[in-house]
Amino acid sequence: MGTAKFGEVKVTLDGEDYDINTPLPSEFNKQYELKFIVDETPNYEGLNYTITFEIIDRPDISEPDITDKTYTGNPYYIITVDDTFTVTGTTFATNVGNYSFTITPKDGYEWPDNTDVEKTFNWKITQATNEWTTEPKISKDKWGKGEEAGVLTNGVAKFGEVVMKLGDEIITELPTDIGTYNIEFIVEGNDNYTGLSKTIEFEIY
């Protein structure tokens, strides 16, 4: 509380006499005017000092809206951390799995249910179903040896590397000898995505 060189300091709150030794009001989202006054007399000038303040209600911490995710090859970021809470655990990930994180409100912040306890949230990324973005094919399924061969379109998958196999052997180009062939295009699946397989057949005579 202020003191003056001369005179007694009186205090008012919103125009009413106020005892400075009592707690200030605590109603949220309301503006208050606190005045410190020394009345003028023939011996000295008066003084008047005003403090205006407002008590802002801190917003509640919203619980994160968590839904299951599907693998995309890119990371998922589940929440944005701000200055109302601290977080431990896993809040972003790329690979398939089950994850969890814990939010602890900082002092003065609460959940919508008016509690300030730590809460743990679970989330997961599930396996994606793979697909061909370019399906393997050949322009014709029969040609004579020495004739123009069929044109191969190599397969491209949404996820993973495509391998071309003849039987158990990995090949990088089509055979040229006389015969009937079944060429398999394979993508090995894993925890993140399913596998793919397609077979094309052609004959060289």
Q: Of the candidates 31, 29, 33, 27, which has an alpha carbon nearest to the alpha carbon of residue 11?
A: 33
pLDDT for 26 equals 73
pTM passes above 0.75:
no
State which H helix or E strand residue 186 sits in. strand 179-187
Cα–Cα distance for residue pair 79/98, rounded to 1 Å: 16
Tell me how far apart the alpha carbons of residues 187 and 198 are, in angstroms, rounded to a whole number.
9
Angle, alpha carbons 46-48-49 (nearest 5°): 150
Tokens representing 116?
């300030």
pLDDT digits (tens, 9 = 90+) for 136-177: 999 999 999 989 999 999 999 999 999 999 999 999 999 999
pLDDT (tens digit per residue) in 8-25: 889 998 888 988 888 888
Q: 4: Cβ–Cβ under 8 A, 6 or more apart, which residues?
A: 38, 47
Cα 122 to the center of its chain, rounded Å: 13
pLDDT tens for 70-122 read 999 999 999 988 888 999 999 999 999 999 999 999 988 889 888 999 999 99
pLDDT score recorded for residue 3: 82
Cα gap 50→14, rounded to integer Å: 10
